[in-house]
Structure 1
Amino acid sequence: MMFMRKWGFILAITGIFFCTDLFAQIQNDTTYFERFTDMVTGRLYFSRKYTGLDIRDRLKEAPLLRYRPNSTLNMGVGASYDVFTLNLALGFGFLNPERGKGDTKYLDAQLHAYPDKWAIDGFLQVYNGYHLVPEGEFAEESQHYYYRPDIKVREVGASVKYVFNGEKFSYKAAFLQTEWQKKSAGTLLVGAEIYGGLAKGDSSFIPKSVMIDPSRDFDKLFFMEFGPNIGYAYTLVIAKHYFLMGAASGNIGVGFTNQYGLEKSTNWSVNANYLLKASVGYNSKRWAVNANYVYSKVRLAKNDDFNNSLITGNYRLNLIYRFIPSPKVRKFLDTINPYQYLE
């Protein structure tokens, strides 16, 4: 959220998740990973989220247009206990010096939850204000960036995958830090995804300086896609404490795109989308440090020789310390733990 950017700071609630398992908790193989259900996992972290729009005209003389938001680099603190996680972050001014990109107002809510045997990703993006990258691309001499405050992007999506080897492979160790992967392991992933949204501006997305044929230009896209996915995730563990994790899943999305210019055009197609995750770091009983990245690309159905796509990213650096809470603190945490009500 960036509505307070003019005053030099932003309050972003980056996660208040009751990540309760839909089924009874599985018995994990403790030689592969260890759980820290009786400890509080505290974290200091830095993060940035973004959702961009790529416009690709298949005509050879047309350039690729990459619209990106001016989202903030946030610094925050968080804690996890059992299945409960709370993260709070601020986009401090000293972390975000102005560089002529133009203002972006946004709400970017991303859910990345890992109940036993499942990986769930949810996206809700509301962005107003975009610039073209790289710096200077089609910008006037007095500007660093070509800036469009009128461009808006809205996207809602979800990806759900079944984790076949959940007894030995831990997503939480790489991304939530509430577990510790001690031995290398991998797993097959199978599930489904759905995405929908729109992008629009007050005028054509294509700058006047590179317009080839004004009759082909457009100022609004509306899309919907859904379909199955399949993927694989693997964590390489070195000397028990150091790890490198990667996950990739592909989605065959069936859907349509409405493109609005001088006339409305609609096209249905099958598109190959993908979701990538990576994490690298050090883990131990008390201390951990890692960097992770989530990247999603949703291709829209081709309209009038335009291949457009939405790009979503989220990268973080986490510094972790785990500790056993006092009896009073543990009693309080147990009272708000939603897992206690599940059988």
Structure 2
Amino acid sequence: MKGNTIGLGALILVVMGMILSPGQDLKAQVVSDSSYIESFPELVTGRYYFSRKYTGLDIKDRTGEFADLKYRPNSTLNMGVGASYNSFTLNLAYGFGFLNPDKGQGETKYLDAQVHAYPSKWAIDGFAQFYKGYHLVPEGAQALENQNFYYRPDMKVREIGGSVKYVFNAEKFSYKAAFLQTEWQKKSAGSLLAGLEMYGGQVLGDSSLIPSQLSEGSVRNFDKITFWEFGPNIGYAYTLVIDQHYFIMGSATANLGLNYTQLEGEMKAKNWSVNSNYFLKASAGYNSKKWAINANYVYNNVRLAKTDDFNNDLVTGNYRLNFIYRFAPGPKLDKVLNAINPYNYLK
């Protein structure tokens, strides 16, 4: 297995952030209600964290000939450090060997670059994901008799896309408190969300993506999926705060998008449809002025257009455990942090 490639990943994140960011001065800040949100622009928010990302494919046979096939990568558990100061955040992580002693029977090579940014009154999520090497998880493997592990080293998934949402009640509700830890949500609050999403990509294999045990003699085999999707979304986010410090946050948006999907191989099928997708976020933990601890999870489901035989989904997940400590930078560190902050040049 290989974890994130830091150099290329950072470049993709910067480009995606510039493309997805609304056309406004990113340094502009919402005037928050101080009784609900406390910000820490003068402090460095340092973090030590563990994370794991994945992007998978679910193949669903509409004819009922075989059970759902759930392909998942063998991605690493990563350990990393990061820091946030003013509007700038940098995180670096790696899948060290001692965290992944059992690499399993199938290797996955991948670059999974994600941006989750919250400038002003916006929530921005971008994805650039490139995976090679997949296996069936137990639910799907049960469809294959006498074979507990089914591995496809040739299988590739490529997906690029993103979601932009306007946060209507950003004066009282803070995404940053839950996911960037640069703010502290002191009282319960929620917000309506609305925006746009767009995704596109391919799934490729050297042979049929349906295992030969299930597809032998079938004319329904396909080894390539091409798709793109675009449409509006709407949702709601809410943070429940207990005794100012403990919190549980949940966010859900639904997307109604125009989707085009094409299957290629022994069978050829394509279709246009309007699909409903969903995007979930959750976070829970403890927050205070000096330190915080929390666990968060991001899950995105992109439904592909149905064909007569198949109804397939791409699923993306990212979960993380954060240990946070905030401190005031000295004069030298403050000078360095401001010098490397790219937002200082976006005026």
Q: Deviation string for 1:58-112 (max 9, x for gaps)?
A: 1223110000000000001111111111111110112112353400000000000
2:123 — aligned with what?
119
Give the CA deviation at 1:334. Answer: 2.3
Is structure 2 residue 213 aligned with structure 1 residue 209? yes
1:323 — aligned with what?
327
TM-score normalized by structure 2? 0.91
Within a 5 Å distance, the mapping from 1:1-343 to structure 2 comes to 2=1, 5=2, 12=6, 22-23=24-25, 24-98=28-102, 100-134=104-138, 137=142, 144-211=148-215, 214-341=218-345
Contact 1:234 1:245 in 2 (8 A): yes
Distance in 1, matches of 2:295 and 2:260, equals 36
The letter of the residue matching 2:266 is: L
Distance in 1, matches of 2:160 and 2:114, equals 10
User: SS at the partner of 2:76?
Assistant: coil
Moved more, 128-137 or 277-286: 128-137
Greater strand share, structure number: 1
Distance in 1, matches of 2:216 and 2:343, equals 58
The letter of the residue matching 1:208 is: S
The letter of the residue matching 2:249 is: M
Give the CA deviation at 1:253. Answer: 1.1
Name the Cα RMSD after superposition.
2.1
**Tell me, which stretches of 5 or more residues in structure 1 are unaligned?**
none
CA gap 1:10/1:189 in 2 versus in 1, 3 angstroms: closer
The letter of the residue matching 1:94 is: F
Give the CA deviation at 1:324. Answer: 0.4
Distance in 2, matches of 1:154 and 1:339, equals 30
Q: Kindly report structure 1 stretches of 4+ aligned residues shifted beyond 4 Å.
A: 9-21, 138-141
Distance in 1, matches of 2:261 and 2:236, equals 29
Give the CA deviation at 1:303. Answer: 1.6
The letter of the residue matching 1:254 is: L
CA gap 1:12/1:304 in 2 versus in 1, 3 angstroms: same
Give the CA deviation at 1:138. Answer: 5.5
* Number of aligned residues: 336
Q: Deviation string for 1:170-224 (max 9, x for gaps)?
A: 0000000000000001000000000000001111111122227610111110001
**Tell me, which stretches of 5 or more residues in structure 2 are unaligned?**
none
